[in-house]
Structures are given as structure tokens and as C-alpha cells.
Amino acid sequence: MSGSTYLVIAYIIMWAGVLAYLGWIALRMRGVRTELESVRELVREREQAANAGRAGDE
Amino acid sequence: MNTLASDPAKSGQQESSKPLGKGLLDPVRRYGEYVLGGALAIGMLVSIWAAFLGTPTDAVQGDVQRIMYFHVPMALLAFFAFFVVFVASIVYLLRRDERWDWLARASAEVGVVYTTMVLICGSIWGKAYWGTWWDGEPILTTTLILWFIYVAYLLLRFYSGRTESGARNAAVLGIIGFVDVPIVHFAVTWWRGLHPTGYVLNGATPDTPASVFLALLLAMATFTLLYAFLLLQLYRLERYTTEAERLRAQVEYGDDSAS
């Protein structure tokens, strides 16, 4: 293989690696945001249930 | 469980929930990331153009020398990333504020990615120029050791979970591991090997055209932007993950400290 071929291989690996890593971070970010939203929703539901219980006691 | 989340006073939860510079920094928070992403995309294109078309072909090495335009900046920024881990780990041990721990963890991940790229591209360059993928010379060996140290750091973080003891142990490893960075940097002068010494950055070649320096500077700027962008994303990922774990603990165990 010539030097140009090695150069092209190196550039492809490097930039494909960077882009794949950016994509992986985006997937992780989406996953954790979804998790955060669902847990926030659970907390809200619990608080509403607790408030409703207190209102019922009164 | 001895988690960072279980002791908000120690872990700096109250501080981390405070918005820093609210109002004044709002436009930066809202648009800064887009500006950074745009500058990064432009920088990538310009750097590739400069490396392929804006610089002359090396008389000795030929085209394969162009690997240097991202190999060198990535190596220097990997060192910088580990320096950030070193500083953030010291500050974390002194203040026990989890935001420094998030920063150290994020910077270590970017540093490992950069070092991986440096090793792969360096190996390809070695095959083209030396005729071998790997040679046990000092700078290659010490760089591989550096990679193992910070992979171990990330594995420690992963397997110890988000515990305070895990953060403390990782901080110690982040500080001790940094000792290898100057060893890698000076390996080419302490133990002479095949690796080029101070090819351009030391100004050892006065005949080097200005376009080579310019292409290197452009690549340096681009990879610095990429480092900043990745660090920002990973830091935010750490923050969201910690918040999600706290809320989950609150829901599952009724842990009031998690709120």
C-alpha cells in the first residue's frame, strides 16, 4: 500500500470514530433525558397523591 | 448506601442545583452550544482542507506525513484533558464538591478517546513509514501505559458506581496517573528512539513552510473546540444522570435528601 492509502485510512478511521463517538454521546444523552423525565413524572404523581390524601383527611 | 446522592451537604448537591450567573449567562447557555457546534463543523472542514490541499507534500515521508496534522494536536489535547482530570481531582478532594468530580470524569473520557485515536493513527503512520504497526520504543510504550491508566480510571468509575468512595479513589488515581504525562512528553528526548523529535513545534526545522504551521494551528483550534464540545456534553450527561439517580432513590426509598 502507498503512503496516500495509509493517509486516507487514517483519516477515515479518525473522523468516523469522532462522528460515531458524537452519535453515541447523543444516544446516551437521549436515554438519560428520557429517564429523568419519567422519574420526574413519578415524583409529581407521588406528590399529587400525597396532597390528595392530605386533602381527604381534612 | 454511601452514595454521593445520600449526602447532599458533602456532595455539594445544594451548590450544584444553584444556577451560576443566572440572567447574565443565559444567552451563552442558550446559544453558546450552537455557536460552538457551528464553529467546530467549520473548523473540521477547514482543517481537512488545510491538511490535504493547503500544505506541501513532505519530501521524505510523502503524503503519510499529513497524519501529523491531527496526530500531534490530539496528543497535546489528550495531555491537556488529563491535566484537567489532575486539577479537578485535587479540587474535588479538597472541597468534596461533586461538580469537580463530574468535570474530572468527563475530561478523562475525552482524554481516553483522543489517546485511542493517537495510538491508532500513530500505528498507521508507523506501518507506512517504519514498516511496522508497533515498535516497543519509549514514547509508544509510555503512551500505551497512559491509555491503560485512564481506561482503568473509567472502569473504576463504572464499577464503583456513583459512590463517594468511588469518586475519592478515582480522584487519587487521576492525580497519580498524571505522572505519566510528562514521562510521555519527554520520552523522545530522554530515550532516543525512532519517533520524530520536535518535528515542527520545537522549531527544529527552520525551512518548514508557514503553511505547515498554519495547518497545525488550525487543527489545534479544531480539536480544542471538539474537546470543549465533548466536555460540555459529558458534563451535562453526568449532571442529568446524578439527578435521575437522586430522584429514583427518592421515589423508591422515600429518601428526602434526594429532593
Minimum-distance CB partner of A3 among B48, B64, B248: B64
- Give B10 or B235, the one with higher predicted confidence: B235
For residue B14, being part of any structural domain is answered with no
SS3 state at B163: strand
Percent of chain B with pLDDT over 90: 47
Q: How confident is the model at residue B24 (pLDDT cuts 50, 70, 90)?
A: low
CB atoms within 10 A of CB B241: 18
| Contact criterion met (CB < 8 Å) for A4 and B113 | no
Which residues in B157-189 are b (16+ Cβ under 10 Å) and which e? beeeebebebbbebbebbbebbebbeebeebbe
Question: On the CB side of B102, how many CA atoms lie within 13 Å of its CA?
Answer: 21
For B46-50, B124-128, B207-211, which range has the lowest pLDDT when averaged over its residues? B207-211
The reply to whether B63 touches chain A by the CB within 8 Å rule is yes
Q: How confident is the model at residue B212 (pLDDT cuts 50, 70, 90)?
A: confident
**Residue range of the domain that includes B60:** 26-258
Measure the CA–CA gap between B170 and B11, rounded to whole angstroms: 15
ipTM greater than 0.90: no
SS3 state at B162: coil
Which residues does B35 contact at the CB level (< 8 Å), separation at least 6? Answer: none
For residue B126, being part of any structural domain is answered with yes
| Contact criterion met (CB < 8 Å) for B64 and A40 | no
pLDDT tens for B118-173 read 999 999 998 888 888 888 888 889 999 999 999 999 999 999 888 889 999 999 99
pLDDT at B229: 93
Measure the CA–CA gap between B118 and B129, rounded to whole angstroms: 16
What are the start-end ranges of the H helices in B97-209?
98-129, 138-160, 164-177, 180-190
The domain tally of chain B equals 1
How does the average pLDDT of chain A come out, rounded?
A: 88
For residue B8, being part of any structural domain is answered with no
The reply to whether A39 touches chain B by the CB within 8 Å rule is yes
For residue B129, being part of any structural domain is answered with yes
Helix, strand, coil shares of chain B as percentages rounded to 5?
A: 75, 0, 20
**DSSP bridge pairs for B82:** none
The reply to whether A42 touches chain B by the CB within 8 Å rule is yes
The reply to whether B201 touches chain A by the CB within 8 Å rule is no
Regarding pTM above 0.90, the answer is no
> Which bin fits A2, alpha (ψ -120 to 50), beta or left (φ > 0)?
beta
pLDDT tens for B67-110 read 999 999 999 999 999 999 999 999 999 999 899 999 999 999 99
| Among A41, A45, A21, residue whose Cα is nearest residue A33 | A41
B117 CB neighbours in chain A (<8 A) are 14, 17-18
The cell for B178 is 498524571
- Mean pLDDT, 10 residues at a time, chain A of 58 residues: 85 92 95 93 87 76
Rounded mean pLDDT of B112-116? 96
The cell for A28 is 446516551
Query: Nearest-CA distance from B64 to chain A in Å?
Result: 5
Query: Are the C-beta atoms of B149 and B82 separated by less than 8 Å?
Result: no
